[in-house]
Amino acid sequence: MKTSNITRDTLILGFAIFSMYFGAGNIIFPPYLGLISSSDWKISFVAYFLADIGFATVAMFALLKVGGNVDNLTSKLGAINGKILMAIIILCIGPLIALPRTGAVTYEMLVVPYFGASTFNSLITSIIYFGLILFFTLRPTSMIEILGKVLSPLLFLSLIILIIKGIFTPIGEISQNTTNDKLFFDGLLLGYQTLDILAALAFGIIIIKILKTKGYTNQKTNFKIVGYASLIAAFAIMIVYFGLTYLGATSSLVYETNIEKVTLLNNIIFQVFGSNGAIILAFVVFLACFTTGSALVSVTAEYFSKVSQGRFSYKKLVILTSLFAVVVTNFGLETIINFAAPILFIVYPAAIILVILAFFDNYIDNLNIYKFSSFGAIIYSIFELISNSYLKLSFMENIPLAKEGLGWILPAIIFGIIGFLIKSKRVRSKV
Task: Give the Cα separation of 95 and 296 in Å (integer).
Answer: 8
Shared domain for 76 and 110, answered yes or no, is: yes
Shared domain for 378 and 319, answered yes or no, is: no
Better pLDDT: 416 or 222: 416
Q: Which domain holds residue 381?
A: 360-431
The amino acid occupying position 370 is Y
Whether 204 maps to a domain, the answer reads yes
Task: Give the Cα separation of 83 and 155 in Å (integer).
Answer: 35
Kindly calculate the radius of gyration of the chain based on its CA atoms and give it in whole angstroms. Answer: 21
Q: What is the pLDDT of residue 423?
A: 78
Tell me what percent of the residues of the chain surpass a pLDDT of 70.
92
Number of domains in the chain: 2
Q: Which range has the top average pLDDT, 97-101, 197-201, 238-242?
A: 238-242
Shared domain for 365 and 260, answered yes or no, is: no
Average pLDDT over residues 33-51: 88
Whether 353 maps to a domain, the answer reads no
Q: Which range has the top average pLDDT, 1-10, 199-208, 387-396, 408-417?
A: 408-417
pLDDT of residue 4 exceeding 60, the answer is: no
Backbone CA torsion sign across 213, 216, 218, 219? negative
Shared domain for 280 and 397, answered yes or no, is: no
Average pLDDT over residues 259-285: 78
Q: Which residue, of 344, 371, 402, is where some domain finishes?
A: 344
Shared domain for 336 and 366, answered yes or no, is: no
Confidence at 262, pLDDT banded by 50, 70, 90: confident
* pLDDT tens track for 280-338: 667 777 877 888 888 889 889 988 988 888 788 989 999 999 999 999 999 887 788 77
pLDDT of residue 396 exceeding 50, the answer is: yes
Better pLDDT: 23 or 364: 364
The conformational region for residue 312 under phi > 0 = left, psi -120 to 50 = alpha, else beta, is: beta
Average pLDDT over residues 113-129: 90
pLDDT of residue 144 exceeding 70, the answer is: no
Confidence at 431, pLDDT banded by 50, 70, 90: very low
Shared domain for 54 and 13, answered yes or no, is: yes
Q: What is the pLDDT of residue 412?
A: 93
* pLDDT tens track for 184-234: 877 887 887 787 888 888 887 778 777 877 777 777 888 888 889 989 999
Better pLDDT: 276 or 51: 51
* pLDDT tens track for 148-171: 677 778 778 888 888 888 888 888
Whether 20 maps to a domain, the answer reads yes
Whether 349 maps to a domain, the answer reads no
Shared domain for 285 and 381, answered yes or no, is: no
Whether 264 maps to a domain, the answer reads yes
Shared domain for 377 and 251, answered yes or no, is: no
Reduce the secondary structure of 377-421 to three states and give it as a string: HHHHHHHHHHHHHCCCCHHHHHCCCCCCCCCCHHHHHHHHHHHHH
Return the number of other C-beta atoms located less than 10 Å from residue 389's C-beta: 11
Shared domain for 381 and 319, answered yes or no, is: no
Shared domain for 370 and 339, answered yes or no, is: no
Average pLDDT over residues 18-24: 79
Whether 80 maps to a domain, the answer reads yes
Q: What is the pLDDT of residue 426?
A: 56
pLDDT of residue 238 exceeding 50, the answer is: yes
Average pLDDT over residues 404-425: 85
Q: Which residue, of 300, 318, 344, is where some domain finishes?
A: 344
* pLDDT tens track for 77-89: 888 888 888 888 8
Whole-structure pTM value: 0.78
Q: Which residue, of 282, 309, 344, is where some domain finishes?
A: 344
Confidence at 429, pLDDT banded by 50, 70, 90: very low
Confidence at 3, pLDDT banded by 50, 70, 90: low
Average pLDDT over residues 41-45: 89
Shared domain for 264 and 218, answered yes or no, is: yes
Q: How far is CA 392 from CA 21, 68, 182, 240, in A?
A: 35, 42, 17, 37
CATH number of domain containing 204: 1.20.1740.10
Average pLDDT over residues 379-395: 79
pLDDT of residue 101 exceeding 50, the answer is: yes
Q: How far is CA 229 from CA 144, 147, 234, 418, in A?
A: 13, 13, 9, 38
Considering the chain, what is the average pLDDT of its residues?
A: 83
Whether 125 maps to a domain, the answer reads yes
Whether 87 maps to a domain, the answer reads yes
Shared domain for 309 and 370, answered yes or no, is: no
